[in-house]
Amino acid sequence: MRNILKRRILFAILMASMLLGVAFSTAFRQPTNARGCWWRTTTYYSNATYSTVIGQYIIPCEGPTQIWGTTAAYVQKDTGECGC
């Protein structure tokens, strides 16, 4: 009788662990298009003439975010739809 009870307890623990594993793996996974259906480019300029680019922050529809250069007070932001 004790072996059956131990087996049931171990089976219940195993099932609960599997259920928690599935719950955590789906809860923290980002959907295919986690950014929504928009791309964004933020361009930083050296002064108010907006003629010299000193940095950018680019969030494309697909692929990794790209960051280069430095930030400044002179900013231009562009967004567009990805076609999702």
Asked if residue 25 and residue 45 are part of one domain, the reply reads no
Domain membership flag for residue 84? no
Domain membership flag for residue 16? yes
Question: What is the pLDDT, as a whole number, of residue 6?
Answer: 81
Q: What is the mean pLDDT of the chain?
A: 83
Buried b (16+ CB within 10 A) or exposed e, 16-55: eeeeeeeeeeeeeeeeeeebeeebeebbbbeeeeeeeeeb
pLDDT tens figures, 49-83: 999 999 999 999 888 999 999 999 999 999 999 88
Asked if residue 74 and residue 44 are part of one domain, the reply reads yes
What span, in angstroms and rounded, lies between the C-alpha atoms of 17 and 5? 18
pLDDT of 31 > 60? The answer is no
Range of the domain at 16: 1-30
pTM of the model: 0.56
Domain count, the chain: 2
